[in-house]
Amino acid sequence: MRKLLSAIVVMMICAAAHAQILTPVKWSYAAKKVSANEYVIFMRATIDNGWHVYSQNVKDGGPVKTTFTFPKSKDYTLVGKTVEPTPVTKFENAFKMNVSYFEKEVVFQQRIKLNSAKAVVKGQLEYMTCNDKQCLPPEDVDFSVAVAK
């Protein structure tokens, strides 16, 4: 009976180790003052080797594009749209189309105008990540960045 119980425990530990959640993308955030009342919010994705994150400019019928949503605030105003560097664009068999994506690292930038002495810029991003074998479900991530004059 002891041997059977020990074997079951070992199998459960192995199964738990094998079923770990994949997290190939880590996000970090920062702000930089660029003029008296303007700042740039940086949203940086560090991407594990072999994985990629999609551009904000993916056509319909492809993977879920990266999107940023900022709720309205009296403390700051968005200036323009969220910008991204030039992505890699290649044909992906999984989607049967050309898609634009980033590997290793990407920094998205959103310019804001501060309307008060300090603010917490809050937002949500949605992104999808894939490698050459699988795609993970789209993920929503809430973030906040403190900004002060």
pLDDT of residue 20: 61
Q: What is the mean pLDDT of residues 126-140?
A: 96
CATH tag for 24-148 (out of 3.40.50.170, 3.90.1150.10, 2.60.40.1250, 2.30.42.10): 2.60.40.1250
pTM (2 d.p.): 0.85
Is the pLDDT at 10 greater than 50? The verdict is no
In this predicted model, which residue has the larger pLDDT, 78 or 93? 78
Least confident of 2-11, 29-38, 60-69, 80-89: 2-11
Q: What is the mean pLDDT of residues 43-65?
A: 96
- Residues 63 and 137 sit within 8 Å (Cβ to Cβ): no
- Mean pLDDT across the chain: 89
Distance between CA atoms of residues 111 and 68, nearest Å? 13
pLDDT of residue 93: 87
